[in-house]
Amino acid sequence: MAAPPKKSLFTQIREGQVWNSIFRHGPPDNTRNRSLAVLTNVFLHLHPVKVRKSGLRLKYTWCAGGTTFFLFLVETITGLLLMFYYRPTSEYAFSDILDLRSQVPLGIMREIHRWGAHAMVIAVWLHMLRVFMTGSYKPPREFNWNIGVLLLVLTLLLSFTGYLLPWDQLAMWAVTVGSNMARATPFLGNEGPGAALLRVGDISLVHAGDDARFALLAGRFVGSGALLRFYVLHCVGIPLVAAVLMAVHFWRVRKDGGISGPL
The residues that touch another protein, with contacts defined as CB under 8 A, are 173, 176-177, 180, 207-210, 214-215, 218-221, 223-225
Contact 82, 231 (CB under 8 A): no
Cβ of residue 76: shortest distance to another protein, in angstroms? 26
Could you tell me which residues are beta bridge partners of residue 199? 204
Residue placing its CB nearer to another protein in the complex, 190 or 260: 190
**Residue 242 near residue 154 (C-beta atoms within 8 A):** yes
How far is 215 from 126, CA to CA, in rounded Å?
33
Give, in order, the Cα–Cα distances in Å from 230 to each of 5, 159, 175, 226.
65, 11, 10, 6
Q: Which is nearer to another protein, 132 or 221 (CB)?
A: 221
| C-beta of 49 vs 232, nearer to another protein | 232
Least spacing, CB of residue 171 vs another protein, in Å: 14
Rounded-to-integer distance, Cα 87 and Cα 190, Å: 32
Alpha helices in the chain (DSSP H): 9-15, 17-22, 31-39, 58-61, 64-82, 93-102, 109-133, 142-164, 169-179, 212-217, 224-232, 238-255
Closest distance to another protein from the beta carbon of 89 (Å): 13
Whole-angstrom distance, CA of residue 72 vs CA of residue 238: 12
CA dist., res. 144 & res. 138, Å (int): 10
Name which of 186 and 223 has its Cβ closer to another protein.
Answer: 223
Are the beta carbons of 79 and 120 closer than 8 angstroms?
no
Q: Give min distance, CB of 176 to another protein, in A.
A: 5
Closer of 140 and 223 to another protein (Cβ): 223
Of 26 and 209, which has the nearer Cβ to another protein?
Answer: 209
Nearest approach in angstroms of CB 189 to another protein is 13
We find the least distance from the C-beta atom of residue 122 to another protein, in angstroms, to be: 25
